[in-house]
A and B are shown apart, each in its own frame.
Chain A
Amino acid sequence: MSIYSFFPSGGEMYWGLLVALYFFYTGLSAGIMLITSLGGVFHLNGLERIGKVGAAMALSLLAVAPVHLILDLEKPWKFITLFGHFQFLSAMSWGAYILILYALALVFYTYYLFKDNKVNARKFGIAAFILALAVEGYTGFLMGNIQAHALWNTPLMPVIFLFSGLASGTALFILGYSLVEKLRNAPQADRYAGIALLSNWLKWFVLVDGALMVIYFIILWYGHADQYAAGYYLLHQDSLSFVWLENVVGLLIPFLILIYRPLASRLSAQILASLLLVFGTLVMRINLVIGGQKLPLFGDRLVNYTLTSGDVGIAVVLALVAVVLMVVLIKALAFEPKKIISSQGKEVVS
């Protein structure tokens, strides 16, 4: 029996690229913070060296993340209102406070790391670590709480966000850290020590991430009518993006690289796996935010999404700002000053 809708709603999607990128950047920042603070803050062997680069990267990414969301508001100039009217039941309201506290903790953590004040760095590192967990969790709740969209409405969402944040954060850190170590001509053994450990963990994060995606899909498939339709949509209408780009290129291939011993020990293979993982997580965020709104609540037309040049421009500019910030912060904070012995035998710093 065919059904035809007259006067279709034909609605436009309200959340688009900028919201997806906000989730992407916050996930990366919190993921990097969680991983790189393990050495300095929790004294995990082999990871002490990476704290400063990690803090600089997490801070740079966090600096641009909320700008996406603010510019996506209809009244960007009124974003400060978020801090005047706390709504207990709103994940977004919680998020505003969690994000500002996370930012403050991260700034102080980075500052004390730079000052080599280990006691204070640890205090703020612990706070930033807990708040990074909250950042990953709240973004998941923000979507998972929404009953209107079957693709979002799952209790798995906070866990999915946590593990995809951990995986992509670790992957981006491996990329950044290997570059930094190369630039500062660190001895090969030193350079490799942290990365080897992280890439070993990375495969487990990817495994959990992949397992969560499989569970998520099974729940959709055996769920109620809207959930089944959402699963069907992912498999049939969005298969290039969901199946191939997000899960095969973005999860399965990196996982295979990381578990295949002859490849797993090579830095170039780890970098390739990391690149694919970061790409896959970006695709995942876009699939989730935009794909999640594709199915209409009424009528018989998929909901449109129009990518505007303005949004693309903002995304590109903010990505460049993040990279520049990262370079500046890493250079300022993470490079050890060169020690030179002067002609008088005194140690000076260049």
Chain B
Amino acid sequence: MGKRYAMVIDLRKCVGCHACTVACKSENNVPLGVYRSRVEEVESGDYPHVSRHRLPRLCNHCEKPTCLSVCPVKATYQLEDGTVLVDYERCIGCKYCIAACPYDARFINEERHSADKCTFCHHRLEAGLQPDCVNTCVGNARAFGDLNDPQSEVARLIAANQITVLKPETNNRPQVYYIGADERVTRPNLMQLLGGAK
């Protein structure tokens, strides 16, 4: 069985320092105003009963990625290890993949005039390194590796913990797993946002 890359993010260890966001931008030359990896952070409740929740977000490198199936020029493709990549040259910038991604993980790179997103730092993986967000995480909240290897850290974390994925109902089968994710940050509270019942 070949490799199947996945990431596990243990939110109990995430301190919200945003070092992953900065490292990603620096490593991948991500233009200003857009992000391949970012950290959502919400505060919920009313004083004195408040809590704060974080959610590092990136491309979920789904097993059944909608972005891949909607791309009209096959610019989005998937490697055997599951990594979803974009052929920046072939991409015509129709933005259909951006509209289709349920994880809001894609954006237009104005310098390349194409869709862009996290690649799991594919260039680093090829050099035998970890993605830079994993490498940088001060709380050691991120683990990355081969899901098909039962001895890998990601496989062991998934086996030993209660994990969640984002929006499982979309059947994209995302490969970024979360430990300790709180629903207050994994989904927007649309009714509160619209001024309706909370």
Contacts and interface: CB of A to CB of B under 8 A. Distances in A.
Interface of A: 1-7, 9, 11, 14-15, 69, 72-75, 78-79, 81-82, 84-85, 87, 89-93, 95-96, 142, 145-149, 224-226, 228-229, 232-233, 236-237, 293, 295-302
A14 B99 contact: yes
A293 B99 contact: yes
B192 A5 contact: no
Interface of B: 18, 38-46, 55, 57, 66, 69-74, 90-96, 98-104, 107-108, 113-114, 169-170, 184, 187-196, 198
A104 B20 CA distance: 52
Interface of A is mostly: loop
A1 B198 contact: yes
Given A4-B43, A5-B42, A297-B104, 4 more contacts: A2-B192, A7-B40, A73-B93, A92-B70
B165 to A, nearest CB: 14
A81 B91 CA distance: 9
Contacts of B38: 7, 9
Contact of A74 (B71, B92, B195): B92
A1 B44 contact: yes
Nearest to B189: A3
Contacts of A6: 41-43
B99 A149 contact: yes
B41 A7 contact: yes
9 contacts: A2-B192, A74-B91, A74-B94, A92-B96, A146-B70, A146-B99, A148-B170, A225-B187, A300-B189
B41 A92 contact: no
Contacts of A74: 91-95, 108, 113-114
Contact of A93 (B42, B72, B194, B196): B72
B72 A297 contact: no
Nearest to A229: B190
B170 A147 contact: yes
Nearest to B54: A6
B100 A148 contact: yes
Contact of A299 (B99, B188, B191): B188
Contacts of A87: 69-74
Contacts of B98: 14
Given A3-B44, A298-B104, A300-B188, A145 B70 contact: yes
Nearest to A11: B104
B40 A5 contact: yes
A301 to B, nearest CB: 8
A74 B41 CA distance: 31
A15 B169 CA distance: 24
